[in-house]
Structure 1
Amino acid sequence: MKRLLVSFLGLMALPPMVAHAFDKKHAEPWPTTRFEQNNYASTSTVADVAQFMSALQKRDKSLSYYRPKAAPRSTESGQPLNAWRLAATAKDPLRVYINAGIHAGEVEGKDAMQIIMRELIQGKYPEIRQALEIVTLPTYNADGADAQDPLNRRYQPNPEHGVGPRENVFGIDLNRDMMKAVAANTKWLLAMYQDFQPAAVFDLHTTNGSYHGFHITYEPAWATGGDAPLQSLNRKMLTDVRATMLPRGMPTYDYGNFRYNKDKQIEAWESAFSTPNLVSNYPTLQYALGVLVETYVYRSYQQRIEDNRLYVVELLRWLAQHKDEVKQEQIAARARWEAQWKTGVARLPLRTEMSLAETYQFEVVDPIKNELGQIVGEKSRTKMELPAYVAFKAVDEIQIPQGYLIDPAYAEKLRPILEAHGLKVLSGISRPSKQAILYFHESERVLAKDSFQGIFPVQIKGQWKSELPEKRAGYRWSKETLDNALYVPLNQPLGRLGFYLLDPRSGDGLVYWGFLHAYYARGKGMWGEPPRQPILAVGYVGENNGQGADGKTIEKVQE
């Protein structure tokens, strides 16, 4: 009796989230996280997460350490990229990847994922375990995860030992790196796409924007050029979950901020990003659903972990319930892309614009803040019916070429990136022989005055034509050069992605990100003849088949 009393008192002394972590069958405690052990005084380090997940592996062998084929094992500074894979309990599961800690000051997702994985193994969500196979990398920004400092992100309520910085050790924002893929972390993620082939990707963040009062804001994968019906299903998932969470006391809405008029009065709510360089937008170009999860920064650290846990579980539950629908829509999206080529007309937009999705009732918080910028109270909350510009529509839709030729001088530089994205890269000799070779005629070139991600991006406007540009190049495209070039056909499953990586007009492609600055960023001091264009287009489909964009005949090469 005395022994039982001691055990009971010991259990009662544990923090709330630890007390429930007992396995009744084995009568022994489940692994606990760092923040559970110290009553939320600190967030987890890379080693803490690895130790916790290793302990979970001992309880369930279906949880395994995961490393994609050909992926880096660590960051450039040597921090391990530790991910885990939890197998489903039934056949033919839907595959889900959950990313956390990409901004190391936004720690709630990293910590919530440990709890979620424990709960899944404990059997709390059998419908999820049956339908879904999950891979998660909780400390994606492994450099920042261990660089914890109380001075980081002081405007949010943090554990007393602090949180990490936003960027990696090189100052790269990893959530702007999906297309250029210069960081080891991004190379790991692209390898995961090829190896695991997820049907859905979540990226867990903490917002730092408007005082809106939503516990979670979210955004589907809105990348320019994604399949529209697949994106509609993506949005439906999030609005369904929104309707489920609201009666449970968790208000959620599309990610964004209040828009103010010239009189500084709130007039609308609007979203922000539709570029595929974001981890949560990129999935749509891989025929997957994507979700940006933004926890409300002004709630307490413990509340933000719990908000993440509840919301991510509900997303997983929705996917489990709609597994077949998601799979069917993925197949249909690929078929729609293939059908464009069969009809002879393949088209994609060059950009998107925000569009009105609905009118919604918002609560505008008038905060009371302390000297650190943390909300310590509220003066009032005002309800406002506002138009919500949280969808995107395609604009500047154009007919796209059959593919692109890349100067052999750039092959060693560009081929690894293209193949890392999953694109099929062929030799120039395999290009369609009866299709026109098209040259890009620039109408505008704007080189950024300030650097972004350590790069001075360049924005290009113009069109493809069969005539050579007026200014003579110092090096010529000959038939031999064409044959030795890289050829990237767009008539392949990931052709959409190929277009946005290689077309010079792309707002998020390799030209924009400086990979071809030797040609596109020549300064005044470079007075000699320019090199040849590094990228050529190969023919258009449809009515111009076998001809250039202006209807003139095929292949013109400098001899």
Structure 2
Amino acid sequence: MKKPLHLLLCLLATSVFAQPKPSFMTPYERSQGKETATYAEIIDYYQRLDKQFDQAKLIDVGKTDVGKPLHLLLLSADKVFTARPDRVTLLINNGIHPGEPEGIDACMMMARDLLLANKLPKNVLLAIIPVFNVGGSLNRGVSRVNQNGPTTYGFRGNARNLNLNRDFIKAEAENTRSFQTIFQQLKPQVFIDNHTSDGADYQHVVTYFATQKDKLHPAVSGYMTQTFQPELDKRLTDKGFPPAPYVNHPKDTPESGLLGYNDSPRYSTGYAAMFNCFGFTLETHMWKDYPARVKGSYAFDEAVLRLCERDARTILANKQRADAAVSQQTTFALNYRLDRTRTDSVTFLGYEAVYKPSEVSGLKRLYYDRSKPFTKRIPYQNTFVADLQLTKPNAYLIPQGWREAIALLKRNGVALQALAKDSLITVSAYYLEDYKTGSRPYEGHYVHTGVKVRTETQRIQFYKGDYVIPTNHPTNRYLMETLEPQAADSFFAWNFFDSVLDQKEYFADYIFEDTAADLLRKDPALRQQLADKRAADKAFAENADAQLNFIYKQTPYFEKTFNRYPVYRLENRP
């Protein structure tokens, strides 16, 4: 008789791993799957692996907002712990949301098992961040009300109450800055971010989304979607964890269909994609018991590792092709939208959704009937198209005063060249014509959207130490995503340049009245513009201050820097 999926998962939860030596049992194992390791236990455990095995090295890579270091475990069969062009680097991130700790416990066991069995792949450098959100890990409790274990766990926000998986462009957290340093030193080809999903109920333990395929270079995207993911799904299914796409559904229940996830650059996989690294956000299902979720995380991470081992040459070649192409690429798609005309389908293992009266409100409520499982094909929309495409300049110029943006560019591998002397340079300058700003703060910011610009050619004075940024580098996509103000996660969107939105000089109307009258007498064209504006706009015609301001903006007295975006495009060769 064929065993139902939930029974198989229970068996897997108790039988997947061989029993390790007591000295290398994890806190998760010692608690028989009830507990996740604390921050102190995690670091102590990896320190003991480092001490015991020459193939393991635990390093302190930088600061976190809580004051404790961010650690990185490196596993290398040949004991060389640096990235090399002849082997794949797989970077696994854990505990970005420490209330979702399966990856933390799974990676502790996987690292140990690889070392004890001497089964580290020779052509892969495995890099594991034990816990990224250290402050959240230390803030231990039971904040995820619907989650089925472990008994206690960390908190989603970090020591500054930031959601670190929204911080990969603005990089306000020390954690994120340390991560960017790691990423740019390792330059991984493949990336995993381990999470736990809530929402609808279904049979799957493992769901995930890959880096949005339509944003990647075709060499990377084609391999990921046509080779890597089908084999990954097969291996997971063979291990008893048939996967589904991340359950992002537009209507009440998943069987209505799933939508692909638009992981913009603020997210970890969206950040990785800017550097031609394909990645996966693993989402195990929080309603499944904790051991099943840990086993699913282990199965996923191990399957990705073995595929990196199998296809190392192809993965390396694809990344090299993509980097070379991006260096020469001229037009970049920046903002994307879901193409709702393109629909595929996927096999989904769900539970029948039904409604009954709520015991709380007496009104109709949704619940999922686990006595009525189903397997069916459901619609899946996962094609994204460009909403904005821009041609790169030959270079950008940024004055040295914008230190925060410059520090981010440098940390992310961008090649900046300081001007050797004061120079008057002809550039294309953006003026910010329109934008919308959120009415409530989001991750500490009032994010700008719907940005519209106009462009003027101007000769602008730059000074020794200001920066020219050539656009002939593999970091071109990062440059375009951050420096073009219309991009969804640009530095402008995240308020890096808001001081240019403040007008600094004004006029006194009782004095400027005479100046304005004199200007109109001497300038028939300006006089006609004012008349046309009055005729077209009744409110304007009845507003004396608005008419004075209109004239003021046409004069040399009006400041040219107001609403002028402070990153400039050099269209000719630098």
Q: Which whole-Å CA distance do the structure 1 matches of 2:337 and 2:457 have between them?
A: 32
2:26 equivalent in structure 1? 33
| Local SS of the residue matching 2:327 | helix
1:136 equivalent in structure 2? 128
Choose the corresponding residue for 1:515, options 492, 496, 506: 496
> Is residue 448 of structure 1 aligned with residue 438 of structure 2?
yes
1:43 equivalent in structure 2? 36
Q: Which moved more, 1:203-212 or 1:508-517?
A: 203-212
**TM superposition shift of 1:367:** 6.9
Give the letter aligned to residue 315 of structure 1. V
Checking the alignment, whether the CA contact within 8 Å between 2:89 and 2:187 is kept in structure 1 is yes
Checking the alignment, whether the CA contact within 8 Å between 1:201 and 1:290 is kept in structure 2 is yes
Checking the alignment, whether the CA contact within 8 Å between 2:90 and 2:190 is kept in structure 1 is yes
Q: How does 1:46-125 map to 2 (within 5 A)?
A: 46-68=39-61, 72=62, 74-89=63-78, 92-123=86-117
> Is residue 537 of structure 1 aligned with residue 568 of structure 2?
yes
> Is residue 493 of structure 1 aligned with residue 483 of structure 2?
no
**TM superposition shift of 1:415:** 1.4
2:19 equivalent in structure 1? 20
Report Cα offsets for 1:10-52 as digits up to 9, x if no partner.
xxxxx97897113xxxxxx441111212223321111101121
Checking the alignment, whether the CA contact within 8 Å between 2:417 and 2:468 is kept in structure 1 is yes
Checking the alignment, whether the CA contact within 8 Å between 2:56 and 2:73 is kept in structure 1 is yes
Query: What TM-score, normalized to structure 1?
Result: 0.81
Give the letter aligned to residue 223 of structure 2. L
- The 1:224/1:536 distance shift into structure 2, 3 A limit, reads farther
Report Cα offsets for 1:423-462 as digits up to 9, x if no partner.
11222469999x8511114342111111110100112533
> Pairwise CA RMSD of aligned residues?
3.4
- The 1:465/1:118 distance shift into structure 2, 3 A limit, reads same
1:168 equivalent in structure 2? 158
> Is residue 234 of structure 1 aligned with residue 224 of structure 2?
yes
Report Cα offsets for 1:295-353 as digits up to 9, x if no partner.
1111101111111011110111111100000000011112212343xxxxx00013112
- The 1:536/1:221 distance shift into structure 2, 3 A limit, reads same
Q: Which whole-Å CA distance do the structure 1 matches of 2:566 and 2:288 have between them?
A: 49
- The 1:223/1:426 distance shift into structure 2, 3 A limit, reads farther
User: What number of residue pairs does the alignment pair up?
Assistant: 497
> Is residue 361 of structure 1 aligned with residue 347 of structure 2?
yes
Q: Which moved more, 1:439-448 or 1:89-98?
A: 89-98
- The 1:232/1:300 distance shift into structure 2, 3 A limit, reads same
> Is residue 333 of structure 1 aligned with residue 322 of structure 2?
yes
> Is residue 214 of structure 1 aligned with residue 204 of structure 2?
yes
Checking the alignment, whether the CA contact within 8 Å between 2:133 and 2:164 is kept in structure 1 is yes
Q: Which whole-Å CA distance do the structure 1 matches of 2:235 and 2:412 have between them?
A: 35
Report Cα offsets for 1:61-100 as digits up to 9, x if no partner.
11011234xxx2x322223322211113499431111100
Q: Which whole-Å CA distance do the structure 1 matches of 2:401 and 2:465 have between them?
A: 10
- The 1:58/1:67 distance shift into structure 2, 3 A limit, reads closer
Q: Which moved more, 1:422-431 or 1:249-258?
A: 422-431
Checking the alignment, whether the CA contact within 8 Å between 2:34 and 2:290 is kept in structure 1 is no
| Local SS of the residue matching 1:82 | strand
> Is residue 415 of structure 1 aligned with residue 406 of structure 2?
yes
Give the letter aligned to residue 347 of structure 1. T
| Local SS of the residue matching 1:273 | coil
- The 1:462/1:61 distance shift into structure 2, 3 A limit, reads same
Q: Which whole-Å CA distance do the structure 1 matches of 2:144 and 2:478 have between them?
A: 35
1:506 equivalent in structure 2? 487
Checking the alignment, whether the CA contact within 8 Å between 2:88 and 2:189 is kept in structure 1 is yes
| Local SS of the residue matching 1:40 | coil
| Local SS of the residue matching 1:315 | helix
- The 1:224/1:403 distance shift into structure 2, 3 A limit, reads farther
Q: Which whole-Å CA distance do the structure 1 matches of 2:122 and 2:343 have between them?
A: 34
Report Cα offsets for 1:129-165 as digits up to 9, x if no partner.
2221111112111111122113x112011122x1111
| Local SS of the residue matching 1:188 | helix
1:351 equivalent in structure 2? 335
Q: Which whole-Å CA distance do the structure 2 matches of 1:113 and 1:298 have between them?
A: 21
1:253 equivalent in structure 2? 244
Give the letter aligned to residue 512 of structure 1. A
1:461 equivalent in structure 2? 451
Checking the alignment, whether the CA contact within 8 Å between 1:224 and 1:349 is kept in structure 2 is no
**TM superposition shift of 1:189:** 0.8
| Local SS of the residue matching 2:70 | coil
Give the letter aligned to residue 568 of structure 2. A
> Is residue 178 of structure 1 aligned with residue 168 of structure 2?
yes
1:314 equivalent in structure 2? 303
Checking the alignment, whether the CA contact within 8 Å between 2:435 and 2:451 is kept in structure 1 is yes
**TM superposition shift of 1:485:** 2.8
Checking the alignment, whether the CA contact within 8 Å between 2:429 and 2:569 is kept in structure 1 is no
Choose the corresponding residue for 2:312, options 317, 320, 323: 323
Long gaps (5+) in structure 2 = 1-13, 81-85, 508-548, 550-557
Checking the alignment, whether the CA contact within 8 Å between 1:227 and 1:284 is kept in structure 2 is no
Which structure: larger Rg? 2
| Identity, % of aligned positions | 19
- The 1:117/1:277 distance shift into structure 2, 3 A limit, reads same
Checking the alignment, whether the CA contact within 8 Å between 2:394 and 2:570 is kept in structure 1 is yes
2:520 equivalent in structure 1? none
| Local SS of the residue matching 1:316 | helix
2:257 equivalent in structure 1? 268
> Is residue 394 of structure 1 aligned with residue 386 of structure 2?
yes
Query: What TM-score, normalized to structure 2?
Result: 0.79
Q: Which whole-Å CA distance do the structure 2 matches of 1:396 and 1:129 have between them?
A: 41
**TM superposition shift of 1:482:** 5.6
Give the letter aligned to residue 134 of structure 1. L
1:157 equivalent in structure 2? 148
Q: Which whole-Å CA distance do the structure 2 matches of 1:280 and 1:521 have between them?
A: 35
**TM superposition shift of 1:521:** 6.9
- The 1:361/1:111 distance shift into structure 2, 3 A limit, reads same
- The 1:371/1:112 distance shift into structure 2, 3 A limit, reads farther
Give the letter aligned to residue 504 of structure 1. P
**TM superposition shift of 1:118:** 0.7
Checking the alignment, whether the CA contact within 8 Å between 1:402 and 1:537 is kept in structure 2 is no
2:417 equivalent in structure 1? 426
**TM superposition shift of 1:387:** 2.2
Report Cα offsets for 1:229-277 as digits up to 9, x if no partner.
312323342232112222432111222322228xx89532102323011
Q: Which moved more, 1:173-182 or 1:458-467?
A: 458-467
Give the letter aligned to residue 510 of structure 1. F
**TM superposition shift of 1:509:** 1.3
Choose the corresponding residue for 2:190, options 197, 200, 204: 200
| Local SS of the residue matching 2:442 | coil
- The 1:144/1:303 distance shift into structure 2, 3 A limit, reads same
Q: Which whole-Å CA distance do the structure 1 matches of 2:199 and 2:503 have between them?
A: 38
Checking the alignment, whether the CA contact within 8 Å between 1:458 and 1:520 is kept in structure 2 is no
1:10 equivalent in structure 2? none
Long gaps (5+) in structure 1 = 1-14, 23-28, 341-345, 469-476, 547-554
| Local SS of the residue matching 1:294 | strand
**TM superposition shift of 1:464:** 5.3
| Local SS of the residue matching 1:148 | coil
